[in-house]
């Protein structure tokens, strides 16, 4: 089965409204020929509307970096799916390791955010990944298995097919140390095996699994050449339009 690659830029806490307009406007002409790939930018909440506006009529979609599971209410600092849908945001990243590390998010919370997104028709990008200590102590497989089981709890096969998973080893995020294509492939194939066990062959073969962690235009091609790597969640390299445009082109340039 061929899965359409998906490259998403996670801008984290970078880019004001003005920066966002500028960056998206620069990216649009750089990628307008790249039709065989889904392209997403995920700016901060305050820049979402500007990104949607600047990306109008282009092949670039916009995603949020997080979303809350309740429809509304006393949840200071949180944003609901309805608020994102209203802005024509199409994707939401859930469970990024920085949310887990600095803001106490857990697999259970991530699962709630995932259900709320799917229910509303937002495409979730669910992040999983082990720390360096966990890898060194031989716990990688157990950690990934636990995260996948809890994060995806009670998601139907149908909805699973419309969910994107991002494998992001914590030790590779923002460090300049990328997992080797073989290391990434090993975990991607583990995730696909877990999907096969929980669901079925079709679901496992349909779900797109991105790799994230120090992805650049210089290493995307080797990563994409692995059979179970279907795209990338890109932090630092997505902030520079020329570099991100180049990375997107190289991702589909096999
Ligand atoms: P990085 O970040 O590409 O800067 O390592 C990836 C991410 O956190 O999604």
HEC states along 60-105? EEEEECCCCCCCCCCCCCCCCHHHHHHCCCCEEEECCHHHHHHHCC
Find the catalytic residue in 96, 98, 105, 115: 96
DSSP state of 128: E
CATH of the domain at 70: 3.20.20.70
Is the distance from the beta carbon of residue 168 to the nearest atom of ligand 1 less than 6 Å?
yes
Nearest to 119 by CA among 155, 152, 148: 155
Q: Known catalytic residue: 96?
A: yes
Q: Are 92 and 81 in contact (CB under 8 A)?
A: yes
Is the distance from the beta carbon of residue 215 to the nearest atom of ligand 1 less than 6 Å?
yes
Centroid of ligand 1 to alpha carbon of 73 (angstroms):
31
Please check whether residue 238 lies inside any domain of the structure.
yes
**pLDDT score of 1:** 65
**pLDDT score of 2:** 87
**pLDDT score of 91:** 98
Centroid of ligand 1 to alpha carbon of 251 (angstroms):
16
List 60's β-bridge partners, or say none: 39
Q: Are 10 and 96 in contact (CB under 8 A)?
A: yes
Please check whether residue 42 lies inside any domain of the structure.
yes
Are β-strands 208-212 and 164-167 bridged in parallel, bridged antiparallel, or unpaired?
parallel
**pLDDT score of 254:** 60
Is the distance from the beta carbon of residue 181 to the nearest atom of ligand 1 less than 6 Å?
no
Q: Known catalytic residue: 188?
A: no
State which ligand 1 atom lies nearest to the alpha carbon of 216. Answer: 3
**pLDDT score of 158:** 98
Is the distance from the beta carbon of residue 195 to the nearest atom of ligand 1 less than 6 Å?
no
CA gap 229, 226 in Å, rounded:
6
Q: Whole-model pTM?
A: 0.97
Q: Whose CA is nearest to atom 7 of ligand 1?
A: 235
CA gap 72, 92 in Å, rounded:
17
CA gap 168, 172 in Å, rounded:
7
CA gap 18, 159 in Å, rounded:
36
Q: Are 94 and 67 in contact (CB under 8 A)?
A: yes
Please check whether residue 1 lies inside any domain of the structure.
no
**pLDDT score of 253:** 83
State the residue range of the domain holding 211: 6-253
State which ligand 1 atom lies nearest to the alpha carbon of 176. Answer: 5
**3-state secondary structure at position 210:** strand
Q: What is the pLDDT along the chain (254 residues), one digit of tens a residue?
A: 689 999 999 999 999 999 999 999 999 999 999 999 999 999 999 999 999 999 999 999 999 999 999 999 999 999 999 999 999 999 999 999 999 999 999 999 999 999 999 999 999 999 999 999 999 999 999 999 999 999 999 999 999 999 999 999 999 998 988 899 999 999 999 999 999 999 999 999 999 999 999 999 999 999 999 999 999 999 999 999 999 999 999 999 86
Nearest to 27 by CA among 12, 45, 7, 13: 7
Sign of the four-CA dihedral 155, 161, 164, 170 = positive
Please check whether residue 18 lies inside any domain of the structure.
yes
Is the distance from the beta carbon of residue 177 to the nearest atom of ligand 1 less than 6 Å?
no
Q: Whose CA is nearest to atom 2 of ligand 1?
A: 235
Q: Are 92 and 105 in contact (CB under 8 A)?
A: no
Please check whether residue 64 lies inside any domain of the structure.
yes
Overall number of domains in the chain:
1
């Amino acid at each position: 089965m061929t899965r359409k690659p998906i490259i998403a830029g996670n801008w984290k806490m970078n880019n004001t409204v003005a920066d966002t307009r500028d960056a998206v406007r620069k990216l649009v002409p750089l990628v307008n020929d790249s039709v065989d790939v889904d392209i997403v930018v995920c700016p901060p909440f305050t820049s979402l509307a500007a990104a949607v506006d600047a990306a109008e009529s282009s092949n670039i979609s916009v995603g949020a970096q997080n979303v809350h599971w309740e429809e509304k209410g006393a949840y200071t600092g949180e944003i609901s799916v309805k608020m994102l849908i209203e802005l024509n945001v199409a994707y939401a990243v859930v469970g990024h390791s920085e949310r887990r590390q600095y803001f106490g998010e857990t697999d259970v919370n991530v699962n709630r955010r995932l259900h709320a997104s799917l229910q509303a028709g937002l495409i979730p990008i669910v992040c999983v990944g082990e720390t360096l200590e966990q890898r060194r102590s031989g716990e990688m497989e157990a950690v990934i298995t636990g995260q996948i089981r809890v994060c995806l709890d009670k998601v139907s096969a149908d909805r699973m097919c419309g969910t994107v998973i991002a494998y992001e080893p914590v030790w590779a995020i923002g460090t300049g140390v990328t997992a080797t294509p073989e290391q990434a492939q090993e975990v991607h194939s583990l995730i696909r095996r877990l999907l096969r066990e929980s669901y079925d062959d079709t679901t496992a073969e349909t779900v797109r699994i991105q790799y994230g962690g120090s992805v650049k235009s210089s290493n995307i091609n080797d990563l994409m050449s692995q059979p179970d790597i279907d795209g990338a969640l890109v932090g630092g390299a997505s902030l520079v339009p020329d570099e991100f445009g180049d990375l997107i082109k190289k991702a589909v340039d096999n």
